[in-house]
């Protein structure tokens, strides 16, 4: 496999400047049509009101629905965040099953509708911090992953959880890029069982749209966004640390733990601050995305200064 150049992956300013180039090169009409098709108020993106009180527990404003649904990392569809919504709009999310197996006593394949009936959705307002140093505040709906794990009864040998996204080249146009699909992620079992770890089914009180990982995606708010794997079809309990998608592409740049830490820079940029979508000024990045009280005990005795 050709190792993909890091410039093809990140940082986003390269794409932004490429977009500007395309526009100045004469693609203005096409891009105007694209933005026209997804302006707020169009049927695809209703101008939804954020749930009250409109902020997270730190008082940070909930990000507008239009931004959450039109600025997306979902590489199976595109490297261009602004294009994912359109390219994914016909993605088929029903029927959908999730197979849970590996080192468990009760392996099972769940139908997504059955899962949603079994585990009524609760609302969780979480900050999402991408490794590229932008962030949002998202009102998710979903249920704790712990509930699903409990049902399948992990065996004593299970130490990690491995997640796999759907990869369907017929529906997902990224087949020319030599990534090793499918997208895979993993958590240590205690991280997976943590109460903050969510399987999300909705945003802003509506079912997830394809671009956000419909019909079921993981959300781990104290870790960089790439851990929050989308459109999950398979979950396995395993004994060894899973090899996740980004570690496979570039192990020097992306780690398994990916805990948010302002003091551990990415090799190509600082993680000390971030751009909150919708804000002009950068803001300081907080250790564990400010979920430190809840999660520090998971990492007792580990060296946080080299924390990949």
Ligand X SMILES: Nc1nc2c(c(=O)[nH]1)N[C@H]1C(S)=C(S)[C@@H](COP(=O)(O)O)O[C@H]1N2
Using CB under 6 A, list all residues that contact ligand X. 72-76, 128, 130, 165, 183, 212-213, 225-226, 228-231
Q: Residue 172 in contact with residue 231, Cβ under 8 Å? A: no
Q: Which CB, 197 or 228, lies closer to ligand X?
A: 228
**H-assigned helices in the chain:** 6-9, 12-22, 28-37, 65-70, 84-87, 112-118, 145-152, 189-192, 245-249, 292-295
Nearer to ligand X by Cβ, of 103 and 216: the residue is: 216
- Nearest to 159, CA basis, from 260, 272, 237: 237
Q: Taking the complex as a whole, how short is the minimal distance between the CB of residue 134 and Mo ion, in angstroms? A: 8
> Shortest distance, CB of residue 29 to ligand X, whole angstroms?
27
Pick what 167 binds: Mo ion, ligand X, none; C-beta below 5 to 8 Å, kind-dependent: none
Q: Whole-number minimum distance, CB 288 to Mo ion, in Å?
A: 16
259 binds, among Mo ion, ligand X, none (CB under 5 to 8 A by kind): none
Beta bridge partners of 122: 142
Residue 181 is given by DSSP the state: S
Query: Shortest Cβ contact with ligand X: which residue?
Result: 225
Among Mo ion, ligand X, none, what does residue 10 contact (CB within 5–8 Å per kind)?
Answer: none
- The interface partner of residue 228, options being ligand X, Mo ion, none and the CB cut-off 5 to 8 Å by kind, is ligand X
Using DSSP, state whether 251 is helix, strand or coil.
Answer: coil
Q: Which two tokens stand for residue 25?
A: 């090169």
Which residue in 94, 65, 67 sits closest to 81, CA to CA? Answer: 67
Which does residue 200 touch among Mo ion, ligand X, none (CB within 5 to 8 A, set by kind)? Answer: none
Q: Return residues touching Mo ion (CB under 5 A).
A: 73, 130, 225-226
């Amino acid at each position: 496999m050709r190792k993909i150049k890091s410039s093809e992956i990140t940082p986003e300013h390269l794409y932004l400047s490429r977009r500007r180039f395309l526009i100045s090169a004469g693609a203005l009409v096409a891009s105007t049509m694209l933005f026209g098709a997804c302006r707020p108020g169009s049927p695809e993106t209703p101008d939804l009101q954020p749930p009250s009180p409109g902020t997270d527990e730190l008082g940070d404003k909930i990000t507008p629905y239009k931004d959450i649904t039109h600025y997306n990392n979902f590489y199976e569809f595109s490297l261009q965040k602004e294009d994912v919504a359109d390219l994914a709009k016909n993605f088929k999310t029903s029927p959908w099953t999730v197979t849970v197996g590996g080192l468990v006593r009760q392996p099972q394949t769940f139908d997504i509708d059955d899962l949603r009936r079994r585990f009524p959705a609760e609302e969780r307002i979480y900050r999402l911090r991408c490794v590229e140093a932008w962030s949002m505040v998202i009102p998710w709906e979903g249920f704790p992953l712990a509930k699903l794990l409990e049902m399948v009864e992990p065996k004593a040998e299970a130490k990690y959880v491995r997640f796999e996204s759907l990869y369907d080249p017929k529906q997902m146009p990224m087949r020319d890029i030599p990534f090793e699909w499918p997208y895979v992620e993993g958590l240590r079992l205690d991280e997976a069982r943590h109460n903050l770890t969510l399987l999300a089914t909705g945003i802003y009180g509506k079912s997830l749209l394809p671009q956000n990982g419909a019909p079921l995606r993981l959300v781990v708010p104290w870790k960089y966004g790439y851990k929050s794997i989308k459109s999950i079809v398979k979950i396995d309990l395993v004994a060894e640390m899973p090899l996740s998608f980004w570690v496979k592409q570039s192990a020097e740049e992306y780690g398994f733990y990916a805990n948010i830490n302002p003091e551990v820079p990415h090799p190509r940029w600082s993680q000390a601050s971030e751009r909150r979508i919708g804000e002009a000024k950068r803001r300081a990045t907080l250790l564990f995305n400010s979920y430190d009280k809840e999660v520090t005990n998971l990492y007792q005795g580990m060296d946080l200064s080299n924390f990949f």
